[in-house]
Chains A and B, each alone.
Chain A
Amino acid sequence: MKITLKFFGQLRELTKCDETEIQVKENTKVEDLIWVLGERFPNIREHLKVVSFSIDNEYAGKGTVLHDGNVVGLLPPISGG
């Protein structure tokens, strides 16, 4: 199945990517995606330890199962205000 990844802040700079689509297996969880991302983008592997994830604009825990068409945000620690 296909999901869309969105990168922000430092992760956007490091990956040189705003948004990309990737194929993942059925029943992939957010925690599995962390491993996939570390393989695909080795230079953000360290950052993934403190990254939060969103699925379709809502924060998602590590155990959340992904579905086809999900938009997944990779969110570094936030610093608005």
Chain B
Amino acid sequence: MGRGTTPWCIAVESQAASGWPGSDWVKEIVLSQAGPDVYNSWWQGKTKWSDPAIKAAWQTWGTVLGPGNANVYGGKNYILSTNFVNGGDGLFKKPPKCYMHNQASFITDNFVKQNAGVKAGDDFKFFPLPDVNSQFAGAHVGAGDAFSMLKDTSQARALIKYLTTPEAQAIWVKRGGKLSPNKSFDLANYPDEITKQVAQVMTGAKIFAFDAGDLMPTDMRNQYWKAVLDFVSDQSKLDSILAKLDAVQATAYK
């Protein structure tokens, strides 16, 4: 920071889904700052967006961003217009434009593919997002693929049971970029050191919560993403942003 380089790179553009990387930030802070009970009640629509706990999470993110997004490379313009797959590219420029990027584990693939000569472990490492509130230490948010069984037959049940076993999940994991949620999964199956460490953080998490945005109804989640864009554009408008979120929340869960 003393050298004058912005510490963070953030990119939220994603066409119709623009804003979702920012929503990851906010939900991680909600879980770590307010705890799993508030987190669950929030995505279920029972806790309002203007509730002090949720508002505090946005404000915490605001301090990370800095006033006028001063702590982020390129400020508001770069955050809003850069596609999320290019979010980490600033880390690898010479000289680096930023030193940290918060993103789900798939991004390591983009780091390596988009930036010549970048190697996992040498040029980048990761650390789990630090705890905000020591009361809820070791809290992490994750997302994943879900299975649905449309017709309840014994064969379908057998397949689903098999898919949850370590043997079946090894097939996926070996292809790279996936984590197995099964605690008895053999870590040796992970194709590289970084993915293995990420898996260890996930399975060792004291408090694990599923992605809140994915659990919300579609219109709530869309407004959530839009709120991220509005907040990055102008942090001082937080109250009216939260009011709009409350308005959507009132009808979305019916």
Chains A and B form a bound pair = no
Binding site for B on A (CB under 8 A): none
Binding site for A on B (CB under 8 A): none
